[in-house]
Structure 1
């Protein structure tokens, strides 16, 4: 079947302080600032544009499943267990909110971290085959 959607271009993240958030994404995640005004910042990260949108306190991208567990909306990929462990240690050194490395019963391991507004993100130690192929 031919895919109708080719790629994810932009991800919108609610933040309470645009300037603080863009600095955090740049300094902690290595994002590149592309635009900044009072209502939004645009940063490039992991091959995508993230729009950090000025929002009300308590607004996040997270959701709660039927079991009452809070979830992230996206997973970043790193290339292998060492990369995952190194990144996890780096985040801990930076005093970022970060969970423990987890074995979820599938290939690779994961951990969850949060930005200053509590938006949760996942990191997985397995690069997708499509991404690996595109890099070669």
Structure 2
């Protein structure tokens, strides 16, 4: 019998997020990100399952225990467990601000793109990223950065 050759892990198909109320949490994700149910909601399952645009599933799993979705890195910064890839980060950022979603300061990470951190109603910390230099023209990148970072010519 031969061993595994190459990378055996293709993709992340599901992410599990601890929440207090799956239905309310699902409604929050729908309102703020436009996610749809992957399967019909069933209260007996103690979770809501939503689908990201590329097909991955976001399981909002009811818990009565402590919600501890973050961890400190070596420097003491509370890390998020995952980063969502997005398009039109400026539109999403404006939308979340308008909806009073708790968000942290925008960061321009040069070749890694533009990121910001947001929190769900249960305090779970997430990151979003758009590699603007890859997906947009240099003129569009300048407009996005001017909009998000209030750059003045």
Report the TM-score range of the alignment, normalised by the length of the smaller protein. 0.7 to 0.9
1:42-87 deviation per Cα after TM superposition (whole angstroms, max 9, x unaligned):
11123210111111254132111122211111111123xxx11221
Structure 1 gaps of 5+ residues are 130-136
Checking the alignment, whether the CA contact within 8 Å between 1:18 and 1:54 is kept in structure 2 is yes
Alpha-carbon distance between aligned partners in 2 of 1:95 and 1:113, rounded to the nearest angstrom: 11
Looking at secondary structure, tell me which structure has more helix per residue: 2
Q: Which runs of 4+ in 1 moved over 4 A?
A: none
- Counterpart pick for 2:17 among 13, 18, 28: 13
Looking at secondary structure, tell me which structure has more strand per residue: 1
Alpha-carbon distance between aligned partners in 1 of 2:49 and 2:40, rounded to the nearest angstrom: 5
Q: Which gives a bigger RCO, structure 1 or 2 (Cα 8 Å, sep 6+)?
A: 1
Residue 67 of structure 2 corresponds to residue 59 of structure 1: yes
Distance 1:13 1:70, change over 3 A: same
Normalization by structure 1: what TM-score?
0.82
Distance 1:30 1:60, change over 3 A: farther
Distance 1:107 1:18, change over 3 A: closer
Alpha-carbon distance between aligned partners in 1 of 2:29 and 2:93, rounded to the nearest angstrom: 16
Q: Could you say what secondary structure the match of 2:40 adopts?
A: strand
Alpha-carbon distance between aligned partners in 2 of 1:107 and 1:6, rounded to the nearest angstrom: 22
Checking the alignment, whether the CA contact within 8 Å between 1:30 and 1:45 is kept in structure 2 is no
Structure 2 gaps of 5+ residues are 135-153
Please name the residue that 1:42 is paired with: 49
Q: Could you say what secondary structure the match of 2:29 adopts?
A: helix
Checking the alignment, whether the CA contact within 8 Å between 2:32 and 2:95 is kept in structure 1 is no
- State the aligned residue count: 125
- Counterpart pick for 1:68 among 66, 76, 94: 76
